[in-house]
Chain A
Amino acid sequence: MHQVEIKSISANYGSLKVIDDLSIQLNKGEIVSLIGPSGSGKSTLLKLLVGLIKPTQGEVVIQNRTINFDNKDDLRFARSKLAIVFQQYNLFQNMNILNNVCIAPIKIQKRDKHEVEESAKILLEKVGLKDKMHAYPDELSGGQQQRVAIARALNLKPEILLLDEVTSALDPELVKEVLNTIKILASEGMTMFIVSHEMGFVKEISNQVAFLDKGKVIEMNSPEKLFNHPENQRTKDFMMKIIKE
Chain B
Amino acid sequence: MERLIEEIPNFFTYWNIIFLLKAMGVTLMLTLFGCIFGFAFGLILAIVRKSENKLMMPLRIFVVFFTEIFRRIPFLVTLLLIFYVFQIFQITDSLFVIALISVCLIATAFIGEIIRSGIESINMAQWDAAKAMNFSYLQILKEVIFPQAWKVILPPAFGFFILFIKDTALASQIGVMELTFAGKILNNKGFSPVLVFGSILILYFILSFPLDRFGKYMERKIASGRN
Contact = CB atoms under 8 A, between A and B. Distances in A.
Contacts of B134: 76, 79-80, 104, 108-109
A108 B129 CA distance: 13
A109 B130 CA distance: 13
A86 B133 contact: no
Given A88-B125, A90-B125, A136-B226, A79 B143 contact: no
B133 A93 contact: no
B16 interface: no
Q: Is the interface of B mostly helix, strand, loop or mixed?
A: helix
Nearest to B146: A94
Contact of A93 (B131, B132, B135, B148): B148
A90 B132 CA distance: 11
Contacts of B135: 104, 107-108
B125 A94 contact: no
B139 interface: yes
Contacts of A84: 132
B226 to A, nearest CB: 7
B128 A104 contact: no
Given A86-B125, A136-B226, A94 B144 contact: yes
B147 interface: yes
A47 interface: yes
A51 interface: yes
B94 interface: no
A103 interface: yes
A209 interface: no
A67 to B, nearest CB: 14
Given A88-B125, A103-B143, A107-B143, A94 B148 contact: yes
Contacts of A156: 133
B126 interface: yes
Contacts of A4: none
A51 B130 contact: no
A201 interface: no
A92 B126 contact: yes
A199 interface: no
Interface in B93-148: 125-126, 128-135, 139, 143-144, 147-148
Among A52, A76, A79, A94: residue with most chain B CB under 10 A: A94
B142 to A, nearest CB: 10
B133 A90 contact: no
B147 A108 contact: no
A90 B128 contact: yes
A79 B147 contact: no
Given A92-B130, A104-B133, A107-B135, 13 more contacts: A50-B132, A52-B128, A79-B133, A80-B134, A83-B132, A83-B133, A86-B129, A88-B125, A92-B143, A93-B126, A93-B148, A94-B148, A156-B133
12 contacts: A79-B132, A83-B132, A86-B125, A86-B128, A88-B125, A90-B129, A92-B126, A93-B126, A94-B144, A108-B134, A108-B135, A109-B134
Instruction: Please give me the 9 A-B residue pairs with the lowest Cβ-Cβ distance, nearest first.
Output: A90-B129, A94-B147, A104-B133, A50-B132, A79-B134, A90-B125, A108-B134, A94-B148, A84-B132
